[in-house]
C-alpha cells in the first residue's frame, strides 16, 4: 500500500511538471539562454530549497565551462556591469534575496528571475523573467484534488512537499543546461573533465 501511494504521488507530480513545461514561454526561455551565453560571469542565488536549485544550476554551468558563482560563498568575486545574476524565487519577494538583487542592479548587472510571480519586488526590476506557473487541470475527484492542493502548498498542514516550484525549477534548470550543451557543442566527456575529482 505504501509503495503504491508513493508511486501515485510521483505520477501526480509528473503530471503537474508536464503541465508546467507546456506553459513555459518560448520567448522568455530564449531570452534567458541568450543572457547566459553573453554574460561575463553568472551569479546564482535563492533562499531555502530554491537556493539548493540555484547551487545545482551554478555547478552545471561550471561543468559546461561558464564562469559561475553562488552568491554568498566566500570565493565569490566582485560583480561588474558585464555580469548576470540568476535568481530562483517562487514568490519573487524574499527579502534577503530581493535586497541582493537590487544591489546587483545598482552595480549594473543584468538580472534574470525564475519565478511563479511576475508582479513582485524582484520581478519589477528583472531584465528577464521566466515564469514557472502552477498549472491546474480540472479535477473531479475530491481526494485527488486534496493531494494536488497539498503538493501545491495551498494547505499549510500535512504538506511536506510545500510547492512544486522548486521541483519544476530544478528540471527547468537541467533542461536549460541540456540546451546550452547543444548550442556550445559540449559533450559529456568535457563535463566529466570539469567534475570534482578530489571528493
- The domain ranges of the chain are 1-24+140-163, 26-131+164-193
Q: What is the pLDDT of residue 155?
A: 43
Q: What is the pTM of this model?
A: 0.82
pLDDT at position 3, please?
A: 78
pLDDT of 56: 97
- Helices assigned H by DSSP within the chain: 2-23, 26-38, 48-63, 95-107, 142-151, 165-184, 188-193
Cα–Cα–Cα angle for 175, 19, 129, rounded to 5 degrees: 55
> Is 163:53 a contact under the CB 8 Å cutoff?
no
**Residue-level pLDDT at 156:** 43
User: What's residue 189's pLDDT?
Assistant: 67
Block means of pLDDT (10 residues each) for the chain, 199 residues, are 81 88 95 97 95 96 95 94 96 94 97 95 97 60 52 46 80 96 81 60
Burial of 102-137, coded b for 16+ CB within 10 Å and e otherwise, reads eebbeeebbbbbbbbbeebbbbeebebbbbbbbbee
Counting every residue, how long is the chain?
Answer: 199
Say whether 22 is catalytic: no
> How far is it, in rounded angstroms, from Cα 81 to Cα 192?
31
Judge whether 104 and 43 are in contact, CB under 8 Å: yes
Pairing label, strands 42-46, 84-88: parallel
At the fourth CATH level, the homologous superfamily of domain 26-131+164-193 is: Glucose-6-phosphate isomerase like protein; domain 1 (3.40.50.10490)
pLDDT at 58: 97
Q: pLDDT value at position 137?
A: 46
Question: Of 73, 102, 166, 188, which residue is the catalytic one?
Answer: 166
Amino acid at each position: 500500500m505504501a509503495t503504491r501511494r508513493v508511486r501515485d504521488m510521483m505520477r501526480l507530480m509528473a503530471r503537474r511538471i508536464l503541465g508546467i513545461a507546456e506553459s513555459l514561454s518560448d520567448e522568455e526561455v530564449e531570452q534567458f539562454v541568450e543572457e547566459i551565453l553573453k554574460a561575463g560571469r553568472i551569479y546564482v542565488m535563492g533562499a531555502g530549497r530554491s537556493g539548493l536549485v540555484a547551487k545545482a544550476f551554478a555547478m552545471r554551468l561550471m561543468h559546461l565551462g561558464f564562469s559561475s558563482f553562488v552568491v554568498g560563498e566566500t570565493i565569490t568575486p566582485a560583480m561588474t556591469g558585464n555580469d548576470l545574476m540568476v535568481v530562483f524565487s517562487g514568490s519573487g519577494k524574499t527579502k534577503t534575496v530581493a535586497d541582493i538583487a537590487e544591489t546587483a542592479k545598482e552595480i549594473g548587472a543584468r538580472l534574470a528571475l525564475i519565478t511563479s510571480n511576475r508582479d513582485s519586488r524582484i520581478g519589477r526590476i528583472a531584465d528577464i523573467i521566466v515564469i514557472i506557473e502552477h498549472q491546474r487541470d480540472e479535477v473531479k475527484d475530491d481526494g485527488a484534488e486534496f493531494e494536488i492542493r497539498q503538493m501545491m502548498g495551498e494547505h499549510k498542514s500535512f504538506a511536506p512537499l510545500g510547492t512544486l516550484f522548486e521541483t519544476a525549477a530544478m528540471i527547468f534548470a537541467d533542461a536549460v543546461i541540456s540546451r546550452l550543451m547543444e548550442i556550445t557543442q559540449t559533450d559529456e566527456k568535457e563535463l566529466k573533465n570539469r567534475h570534482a575529482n578530489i571528493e
